[in-house]
Structures are given as C-alpha cells and as structure tokens.
Amino acid sequence: MRPIITLTTDFGLDDPFVGIMKGVILKIAPEASLVDITHNIEPQNIAQAALVLESAYPWFPTGTVHMLVVDPGVGGSRRPLAVHSRGYYFVAPDNGILSSVLDAEAQCYELTEKEFFLEPVSNTFHGRDVFAPSAGWIAQEKKLFDLGEKINDPQTLDVPQPVVEGRTIRGQIIYIDRFGNLTTNIGAETLHKHLVPNQKPVIQIGEKKIIGLSSSYSEAREDQPSALVNSWNRLEIFVREANAAETLGVRVGDAVSVDSNESES
Amino acid sequence: MRPIITLTTDFGLDDPFVGIMKGVILKIAPEASLVDITHNIEPQNIAQAALVLESAYPWFPTGTVHMLVVDPGVGGSRRPLAVHSRGYYFVAPDNGILSSVLDAEAQCYELTEKEFFLEPVSNTFHGRDVFAPSAGWIAQEKKLFDLGEKINDPQTLDVPQPVVEGRTIRGQIIYIDRFGNLTTNIGAETLHKHLVPNQKPVIQIGEKKIIGLSSSYSEAREDQPSALVNSWNRLEIFVREANAAETLGVRVGDAVSVDSNESES
Amino acid sequence: MRPIITLTTDFGLDDPFVGIMKGVILKIAPEASLVDITHNIEPQNIAQAALVLESAYPWFPTGTVHMLVVDPGVGGSRRPLAVHSRGYYFVAPDNGILSSVLDAEAQCYELTEKEFFLEPVSNTFHGRDVFAPSAGWIAQEKKLFDLGEKINDPQTLDVPQPVVEGRTIRGQIIYIDRFGNLTTNIGAETLHKHLVPNQKPVIQIGEKKIIGLSSSYSEAREDQPSALVNSWNRLEIFVREANAAETLGVRVGDAVSVDSNESES
C-alpha cells in the first residue's frame, strides 16, 4: 500500500517552501501520497497547529506519517522529534505542537542520526533538511529507533481547559474557521455532564445570549447567533449563512459561558 | 489504473477540512489520485460552483469521480446525490450544483445506504461523513445502485441565458477570474449565429464600448478594455495586463450587450 | 517509478485552471505524481517565477518534469519550449522564465508537433492546450526531439547581479517571502570573497544598519532587523518573529549594501 504523508505548516502557499519539502520527500519515498492539511497556520502559532493536528490526524489510515513544521525555534536548541502514538507517526519540532497525541503510551524519539538529514543542515529550513527526509524515511518503513534516541520529556502546551463553577461552564473560543464559526474548548461530554437535563442551555458570549442548541446550521435562524455541537464534538457558536466572528467581533481567547436555563424547565 | 477523485468546495485552505476529507477517502480508496479543483468557492455560492464544475469536469479522464461540497443545507432535508453522466461520476448535495451535467441521460441516485457513511453522521460536516466516503467507494468501483436509490427529480439552477432582441444580444457577467477577466454567459455559438458576418461586433459594458474581438490577450491594446472568445468558449472582457473587474468596476451579474456594428460594414 | 510533474503558475487557487491542467496531464500520464510549487506567482511576474524555479527545481529527483506557466505572451508569437538541463525536464513559454537552467549544456526544443497538443489550441490557455499535454508526454518518456525542433536562442532574463566597489558589495532585494523575510541577490560566496575576514559585516538597507550576521532566526534579537545566510545560500534580512518587509517598508528591487566593519577589527 502507498504510504501517506500529511503536511501541516505555517509556510503559506505563495513561496516554494512546501513544494521543495515534497521534492525532498519524493526523492526518498517516491510512492508516497502527499496530503496537505493546511499551510496557512498563522506564522509561528504553535497552539493553532496543535489544534489542527488534533482535529485532523485520526481521519487518516493508521500508519500515516503526519509531518508538522511550525518552528519559531529553528536553528536553536529545540529538538526535532519523531513520535509513534495511537497507530500514527508524527514528525515535528519539540515545541508542544504534538501535545494532543503525547499520552503515556506515545513513543518519542529525538532525531539525532544525521545521516538521515540533508547535508549540510541549514539553520533556517529544517522542514527541508530534517523533517521532510525523516518523514520520507519513516514512510519507507525505517524504524524510529534507527533515526534517533528515545526521550521521555517532550514539550507539551498548556491547553486552556473549561472550568465548571456550580451550574456554569466557563470556557473560551479556541478556533475560528473560514466561515467565521467559533469553536470553543467546551466538549460535548462536558456539556452533557454538567447541564441540567431537559433544560435549554444558555450560552453567553460577550453581551450576547443564545438560548438552546441547534442540531444543524440549516435549522438555525438566519438573523442571530446560534450554537451547536460541531463535527469536532465541541460547542460551536455560529450565525447561519454569515460570519459569526465578524458579526460578534470575537477573537480566539474570548470567554464563553454556558448555564442551565432553570426558568424554562 | 489509479482512480481519480476531484474536490471542489467552499472550505478554503486555512482549515483542516479538506485534508480531513482526503484522509477519509484514502482510507477507502488508498490508490486514488486526489486533485483539487478549487476550495475557494465563495462561501455557499452554489451557482459559482456549478460554473466551475461545468468548465472543469470534461478535461479529466472518463471514470473520474468529481466530488463537490458547497452545502448550505447540510444537516437539513436536502438529499445527498451520486450521479453518473457523460462518462463521469459526481457526488454532491442535491442543491443544483450539478445542473450542467443533469441531462436526460444522467442517472441520479440519492445516497441512502448508511453503511457507506461514516458513523455517526454529524449534522455539520457531510463532506467528511457522507460525500468523501461515497466518493471513495465509487472510486473502488462500488455501483451507484448499491449506494442508494434512483431518483428522477434532482434540483437544477435557473442559469441566466442570454437574450437576443433583433441584432442585439443581451447577457451578463457570470464569472470573474483571478486576473479580473470577465466571462459572460454569451457563448461563441450565439455570437456566430446572431451577429452580422464581416462586421465588427460592438460590446457594451456599463458606459464602455469595445469594438471588435481580439484573437488573443497579447494582440490587444494595453490601455483599454478588449474582448475575445475565451478558453471556455464564451465572450470575455479583459484589459491586457490589468484587472478588468477593477478597472471597470464590474461584478458578477452586471449586464453586457453585443451589437453588430452596421456603420462599419 | 512514478513520474513527477511540478507546476508553477500565476493562476492562483480560486479558479479551476490548475485543476483543469492536472486533468489534462492525468489523461496522458495517469500514474504521474503532481506537485504544486506555487500558483501564486504575481500575475505575469516572469522574474519572480524564474527565481522560484531556481530555488525549487534541484530538490526533486532527477527526471522530474517542471512545468511553468506565467505567460503574458500567450496567443502571440512567443515559442513554447521543452528543455532538458541538469538531469531535469522543463516545459514553459520562451520568455526568460527558465533563465537559471539555460546553461551551455541545456538542450532546448520549440514545441512544434501539434499532434501532442489539445486540438483546437485556444489563444488564451496554452497551460491547458500546449504545456500540460507536453509535460504529460515527457512524463510518459516521449523524447523531446519527437515533440519539436531544437533551438539555440532561448530567451533569458537580465538578472540583477551584485556589484563590488572596493570593500562594498551593492545588491538588492529580489524576493520577499510569506514571513516578510527579505532575500537579496548577494550570495554566500560573494560575501566570503569580498568581506574582510574576522570582521563583522555592516549591512545597510534604507536608513537601517545591521552589524554582523546571525547564524539562525532564533539567535537574533526580537526587536531589530538582523541578517543571515538563508536556506537558499543568499544574504537575507529579517526581523525575528516579525515581518521585516512591513517593519522596514521594503520592496523587491530596493538597494542593500554590505561593508566590512573596519573600525571593529
């Protein structure tokens, strides 16, 4: 079966950087299927890339190599990593970008074996010189322990978790998509566990109150903010056929709270 | 031969949605060649996607599976479709996006067999849960009648047609490309049928008059709007090495007329 | 081994043009791996495309077919070319875009054999009708001499070279990437040859002076412009974790000079 390598970077699509990395990969793994997740991560926004990875990686066949290059520390002392976790491979700088898959079973290796890099390694483009060739070799079934040394202390990010106070869940906006839909860090499970059953939840964002959850975009009213549990299994705020981020003037990090609506039981 | 699946959506390239759909497809059809037509359809602009499909689908080998997801009705009652027409397969929501291939010979199926979907089907991302797996199964040579039930009433769009009044053809701008070139709904055939032979046509857009057709961009004068029959076999208005849409302040839907220039016979 | 075809154009990703060319290629070369270098070359900026090609082509396996379509002269008298140089194939209009590979050993052919084009050839989209099918046939191991006639006078661009005056190297900005990093036309070799050893070079851009070279982005101070030799082996000016082009108000073509810093030996 053809190996699959996905690419997630902040390199954008204007410059030749992504194409160059694919050339390097195909020299090593000529049969690989290369799939772009996105190259439009905000420059050096590691937290955003970590969220994108979390939402995307499990939809691929196991064995897929997920390569991520959002790398403000390139050329410095941060380590390059290869990780095996949950049946997938990951190649990325050790800066927290892999947080969502770094559970207790994850096997983490620092990429130390320079014969698998392009030589000489530049100080500015490890995507080309370190991560692309490593992804290629893993796709060619090279073992991680041949590429480097096992480590037990990979970097992780402090991901903001929702806080439950009495009957109120306090969370925040963690991702805004192309349509302006607002994904929160409040998961479906948290909602189900903490809300009073058979009552419509009241979602508050800024001055706006949204009462109840829609089951789909097309069910919501067009002229006002609505909420639903989205394809990522998280609470999402949207405006039907409009851009909620613009309409509400909301950014990543803004607070969202959810209450049980006791007066309407 | 490797199956080909093309993707046309309004998902943009910033978010992981397109990559996720490709992961789903490759789980089912690991040998497929995946080709992006565009993911920058204006959000929920079904008419634009229908035009893009019309211009792109016939350039692929027959047997190609064209998947389109511009889907404002996701989660509502609109049907998911698979269509076989003119030697190609199409997978898309039943909202008119496939209008250009829905001729009398087209075989249309509603995708009803849920064992070919991802379970549970979300209410917000049928691209991932319904259309991607269906495209994958069709690429794997699953028959359409195994995926659903035949229907005879697919949705079609009212596409604006040019109107001929005496010697005047009245049409409109239907597409503006990256270069700002303005494609009209006036086809080469209509021009040839209704214009007086051996006379230069006079094209009017807003206050501007263009006399005669150029045979190529490089033949036209640089400082003024010109017209030609484009690669899509339609009348196009352009400004050589400039952006006609900006120069002329034109939008999709604006009127264009063509007359025979009798005074110059 | 699967043939590789790369694509570099100014077509953008909003319109279906790139997808259409890929369809044409896959009809002829169904096993080809298609890799986008970029489709966001500034409209008709041949010099920019030539630089992108120079930076990208050697990272691919030899035998790769590099196809470039930035083609303001489409439909006019400029010739379509296929070139074999340095182990790679190139397909492009004869407008200087291939300058970096047109050395004395390069074998250049004008594409004259119309049976390998799509018929009829439009006057506006040779990417679809001439270059895509030619790239496909070359990927299928068709010989260049079967596709056209040898020529010895391909167009080349006058690429601005740095000038050395005494101990001063005078160059210019030739490329600005997504991060706002400024690549100059001053190569590492020129720096090493003309600067006084063991002295920090002084780089001047506009009113700004930068003293010394950083070895990596992460080593530089965050609040001021810095310089290094980049992954392309050229002098680059950057601002750590910021956009140097915006910070400094610099454009392609702006002057940069480098001096040896005699007072600090």
Tens place of pLDDT per residue across chain C (265 aa): 799 999 999 999 999 999 999 999 999 999 999 999 999 999 999 999 999 999 999 999 999 999 999 999 998 899 999 999 999 999 999 999 999 999 999 999 999 999 999 999 999 999 999 999 999 999 999 999 999 999 999 999 998 999 999 889 999 999 999 999 999 999 999 999 988 888 899 999 999 999 999 999 989 998 899 999 999 999 999 999 899 999 999 999 999 999 987 654 4
Quote the pLDDT of residue B198. Answer: 83
A265 versus A124: which is more confidently predicted? A124
Cα separation, C230 vs A208, in Å, equals: 49
Instruction: Give dist(CA A60, CA B23) in Å, integer.
Output: 4
Which chain A residues in 57-116 lie under 8 Å from chain B, judged by CB atoms?
59-61, 64
C228 close to A (CB below 8 A): yes
* pLDDT tier at B222, thresholds 50, 70, 90: confident
Quick check: A191 and A202 in contact, CB under 8 A? no
Report the DSSP pairing between strands B255-260 and B225-229: unpaired
List the subunits that have 3+ CB pairs under 8 angstroms with C. A, B
Closest CA in chain A for residue B121: A231
- Residues A77-91: tens digit of each pLDDT: 999 999 999 999 999
**Whether pLDDT at A93 is above 70:** yes
Domain borders along chain C are 4-151, 163-259
* Interface contact A217, partner B, CB < 8 A: yes
pLDDT at A253 over 70: yes
Residue B216 — very low, low, confident or very high, per pLDDT cuts 50/70/90? Answer: very high
User: In CATH, what number does B163-259 get?
Assistant: 2.40.30.90
* C-alpha to C-alpha distance for C55 and C49, rounded to whole angstroms: 10
**Interacting residues of C142 by C-beta distance below 8 A, sequence separation 6+:** C116
Strand order in the sheet with C65-69: C33-38, C4-9, C65-69, C88-93, C80-85, C107-111, C148-151
Chain C interface mutation, best of B14, B216, B222, highest count of C Cβ atoms under 10 Å: B216
CA distance C252 to chain A (A): 15
A-chain CB neighbours of C231 within 8 Å are 122, 124-125, 128-129
Of the pLDDT bands very low, low, confident and very high (cuts 50, 70, 90), residue A198 is confident
Phi (first) and psi of residue C256, to 5 degrees: -135, 135
B149 CB within 8 Å of a chain A CB? no
A30 in Cβ contact with C61 (< 8 Å): yes
> CA nearest B89: which of B30, B147, B9?
B147
Are domains C4-151 and C163-259 of this chain identical in fold? no
- Per-position DSSP letters for B143-193, written without gaps between them: -HHHHEEEES------PPPPEEETTEEEEEEEEE-TT--EEEEEEHHHHHH
Q: How far apart are CA C193 and CA C188, in angstroms?
A: 9
Is B19 in contact with A40 (Cβ distance < 8 A)? no
Report CB contact under 8 Å: C14, B217: no
CATH, domain range A4-151 = 3.40.50.10790
Residues of B in contact with C123 (CB under 8 A): 215-217, 228
Q: Which of A17, A45, A128, A130 to mutate to test the interface with C (most CBs of C within 10 A)?
A: A17
pLDDT confidence of B131, banded at 50, 70, 90?
very high
Q: Which residues contact C35 (CB under 8 A, 6 or more apart)?
A: A19, A22, A23, A26, A34, C4, C5, C6, C7, C60
Beta bridge partners of B4: B33
Q: Which amino acid is at A81?
A: L
- What single letter denotes the amino acid at residue B224? Q
Q: Do B55 and C16 make contact, defined as CB atoms within 8 angstroms?
A: yes
Is there a contact between A155 and A106 (Cβ–Cβ < 8 Å)?
no
Report the alpha-carbon distance of residue C217 to residue C232 in Å, rounded. Answer: 14
Amino acid at A57: Y
For residue B171, what are the contacts with CB-CB under 8 A and spacing of at least 6?
B160, B162, B163, B184, B185, B186, B235, B255, B256, B257, B258
Interface test with C, best of B1, B6, B35, B241 (most C CBs within 10 A): B35
> In this structure, which long-range contacts are made by residues C188-197, counting pairs with CB atoms below 8 Å and at least 24 apart in sequence?
C188/C229, C188/C233, C188/C234, C188/C235, C189/C233, C190/C162, C190/C164, C191/C229, C191/C235, C191/C258, C194/C164, C194/C167, C194/C169, C195/C167, C195/C169, C195/C258, C195/C260, C196/C167, C196/C260, C196/C262, C196/C265
Taking a C-beta distance cutoff of 8 angstroms, is the pair C16, B55 a contact?
yes
**C119 interfacial to chain A (CB closer than 8 Å):** no
User: Using 50, 70 and 90 to split pLDDT, how confident is the model at A24?
Assistant: very high
| Cα separation, B110 vs C79, whole angstroms | 50
Structure tokens at B195: 């214009």
SS3 content of chain C, % helix, strand, coil (to 5): 25, 30, 45
CB atoms within 10 A of CB A104: 5
Q: What is the pLDDT of residues B230-263, one digit of tens each?
A: 999 999 999 998 999 999 999 999 999 999 876 5
Mean pLDDT in residue range A217-224: 90
Q: Is A183 on the interface with B (CB under 8 A)?
A: no
Instruction: Kindly report which listed range (A51-55, B5-9, B144-148, B193-197) carries the lowest average pLDDT score.
Output: B193-197
Which chain C residues are Cβ-neighbours of A45 within 8 angstroms? none
* Cα-based angle C57, C243, A73 (whole degrees, multiple of 5): 75
Comparing C-alpha atoms, which of A137, A84, A86, A92 is closest to residue A115? Answer: A137
Which tens digit of pLDDT belongs to each residue from B157-176?
A: 998 999 999 889 999 999 99
Long-range CB contacts for residues A247-251, cutoff 8 Å, separation at least 24? A247/A180, A248/A182, A248/A205, A248/A206, A248/A208, A249/A206, A250/A173, A250/A176, A250/A182, A250/A205, A250/A206, A251/A173, A251/A176
- Residue pair A244/A182 in contact (Cβ under 8 Å)? The answer is yes
Reference C86, options C76, C72, C100, C71; nearest CA is: C100
**Res A264 pLDDT > 50:** no
For B27-85, give the DSSP string.
HH-TT-EEEEEES-SPTT-HHHHHHHHHHHGGGSPTT-EEEEE--TTTTSSPPEEEEEE
Cα C126 to Cα C132: distance, rounded to the nearest angstrom:
8
- Convert the pLDDT of each residue in B204-214 to its tens digit: 999 999 999 99
* Cβ-Cβ contacts under 8 Å, C78 against chain B: 218
* DSSP helix/strand/coil, C77: coil
Q: What tokens does A220 get? A: 């919501």
Partner-chain residue, chosen from A15, A44, A122, that has the shortest CB–CB distance to C177: A15
How close B236 comes to chain A (CA, Å)? 27
Q: Residue A262 and residue A200: Cα distance in Å, rounded?
A: 8
For residue B113, is pLDDT > 70?
A: yes
Average pLDDT of the segment spanning A113-127:
96
